[in-house]
Amino acid sequence: MSAGTSRRALLAVALIGFAVGLVVSVRFDLFPSSQAINLFGGGEKAAEESGSTGAPPAVALPDFAGLAEHLSPSVVNISSTQEVKGGPSLGVPGGPGGPGGEGDPFHEFFEPFEKFFGPPRRPYKAKSLGSGFVIDTKGYILTNNHVVENADEIVVKLSTSHSSRSTAPPI
C-alpha cells in the first residue's frame, strides 16, 4: 500500500466517522436548543411561535449614564512628586547611574554617553499621575501603589475642582 493510498483511506474513514457521529447526535438529540436569555429583545416572538409557556425572565441593563453621574464625585485625580537623588536610571542594569560594570551587557552601550556627558549627579523631581476614588466618608482614597510610592508630595484633585496637598506618607 503506497503512502497516497493510505492517506486517502484515512481521510475516507475520518469523513465516514464524522458523518455517522453527526447522524447519531441529531437522532438522539444530544445538542438540545439553547435556553440563553436574550438581553437585546426579539426573543419573545420566537418563544410565542414555538408554543413555549415558560418565557425567560426579562433582564434590564442599568443606565450607565445615570450610574456615571451618580458616582463621578467620588473619582479623584492624583499627582505626586518625588525627589530622586542621583541620576536617572533607564531601568536597565548598567544604565546611567545604575548598577553594572565591565561584565554588564549594557556597559558597551552606555559607556560612551557617560564618558561624554559624565555620570548624572544632580537630583531631580519625578512626577507621577493617576486616578483613584474615595471609598469612605473619612476621606480614604483607593489608588494604585505606583502612583504614590516614595512620594514626597501628593496632590488630590476632586471633580469639584477642590484640591488637597499632603506631605504625609500614604497608608
> In this predicted model, what pLDDT tens digit does every residue of 88-137 receive, in sequence order?
444 444 444 445 566 677 777 777 887 787 776 778 888 999 999 888 88
Average pLDDT across the chain, whole number: 76
Q: Which of 18, 144, 85 is nearest to 154 (CA)?
A: 144
**Across residues 28-57, what is the average pLDDT?**
60
Identity of the residue numbered 44? E
Backbone angles phi, psi at 22, to 5 degrees: -65, -45
Rounded Cα distance between 132 and 141, Å, is: 6
How far apart (Å, rounded) are the C-alpha atoms in residues 58 and 37? 8
